[in-house]
Amino acid sequence: MTMLDGKVAIVTGGGSGIGQATAILLARHGAAVVIADIDEGNACRAAATIEGAGGQALALRVDMRDEEQVAAMVADTMARFGGIDLLDNTVSYNAPEQTGSDGEIHEMDIAIWNRALEINLRGPMLAAKYCIPEMLSRGGGAIVNISSTAGILSLGTVPAYAASKAAVHSLSQSIATAYGKRGIRCNTVAPGFIDTPTTRKMGDQFFQMTLDNNVLPYLGQPDDIAQAALFLLSDAARYVTGQLLAVDGGQTIHLPVVADMWRMTAGQPLVEIA
């Protein structure tokens, strides 16, 4: 007996990186998992990995910007697995691939702003809109929305992405507040910089910056975020709702000068206490 036996989960953006790791982990813990992603090939590969390990999975090509496709995702899930208990919204568009930046606000292409909000905020909202009635009909459920530490503290370079990620936690709080008495919990996980195919494209300097600023001496892996989502989606977190959990190696717990202090002092305290 594993902790998600008999549960049905949808992972949006489940085709790669953190979403893929989450889909595989939820399946390993007994859930039947729907992998919804705009990249059908990746969704199918993740589903095949789950089925190859003896789990149950369904790959769906879904553009989370399109309300009809989101409604169809829920209908297809119901047809295949007969219910929905868990929703993990990992879906995201990151900053434009070539620059790693949204551009500055005074010259931003409004299409970048709209795309970030459409995929990162409206997508999770639409998934919740169509999943919640099915959860209510089963007596409850649990939702995790994936935000970012860039939605907690400013990076400066990704204003559209950051705004969408800050807002997705507000969405979690609204869902948690409105549906708690009806058995639905909703929480947010904010990853720090995680080693995924998407971040690999950004180059080694981002990994070095992360290691310099993390309290912990290693990089976060997709499974670190998946484990947090698993906890929050499981009954082990039955008294946890509306919360924001940063899973970031300690990057957001200290003042920005700490990394410089470490460099200056080679890890020794700046001032020896007499």
Give residue number: closest CB to ligand NAD: 17
Respond yes or no: is residue 179 known to be catalytic. no
Residue 132 CB-density burial (10 A; 0-12 exposed, 13-18 middle, 19+ buried)? buried
Interface stretch with ligand NAD, choices 89-97, 104-112, 131-139, 227-235 (CB under 6 A): 89-97
| Close Cβ partners of 265 (under 8 Å, ≥ 6 residues apart) | none
Cβ 142 to ligand NAD shortest distance, Å: 18
CA–CA dist 130, 63 (Å, integer): 14
Residue 170 CB-density burial (10 A; 0-12 exposed, 13-18 middle, 19+ buried)? middle
The correct pick among 196, 234, 241, 251 for binding ligand NAD (CB under 6 A) is 196
Does 62 sit near ligand NAD (CB under 6 A)? yes
Interface stretch with ligand NAD, choices 37-45, 100-108, 239-247, 251-259 (CB under 6 A): 37-45
Long-range contacts of 165-171, Cβ-Cβ distance < 8 Å, separation of 24 or more: 165/120, 165/190, 167/117, 167/121, 168/89, 168/120, 168/121, 168/124, 169/145, 169/244, 171/121, 171/124, 171/125, 171/128, 171/145
- Listed in order, strand segments (DSSP E) in 137-177 are 141-146
Does 17 sit near ligand NAD (CB under 6 A)? yes
How many residues touch ligand NAD under the rule CB under 6 A: the total is 29
Does 92 sit near ligand NAD (CB under 6 A)? yes
| Close Cβ partners of 188 (under 8 Å, ≥ 6 residues apart) | 144, 145, 146, 147, 168, 169, 172, 243, 244, 245
**Among residues 30 and 207, whose Cβ is nearest to ligand NAD?**
207
Interface stretch with ligand NAD, choices 2-10, 60-68, 132-140, 252-260 (CB under 6 A): 60-68
Place of tokens 């299409």: 111
Q: Which of residues 164-183 bind ligand NAD (CB under 6 A)?
A: none
The secondary structure of 120-135 as a DSSP string is IIIHHHHHHHHHHHHH
**Among residues 6 and 251, whose Cβ is nearest to ligand NAD?**
251
Does 63 sit near ligand NAD (CB under 6 A)? yes
**Among residues 92 and 241, whose Cβ is nearest to ligand NAD?**
92
Q: According to DSSP H, which parts of 82-158 are helical?
A: 110-117, 123-137
The correct pick among 50, 91, 229, 237 for binding ligand NAD (CB under 6 A) is 91
The structure tokens listed for 257 are: 């000068």
Looking at 130, 161, 179, 218, which residue is catalytic? 161
**Among residues 133 and 197, whose Cβ is nearest to ligand NAD?**
197
Cβ 44 to ligand NAD shortest distance, Å: 12
The correct pick among 58, 112, 193, 247 for binding ligand NAD (CB under 6 A) is 193
SS3 at position 9: strand
Binding site for ligand NAD (CB under 6 A): 13, 15-19, 37-39, 42, 62-65, 90-94, 119, 146, 148, 191, 193-194, 196-199
Catalytic residue list:
161
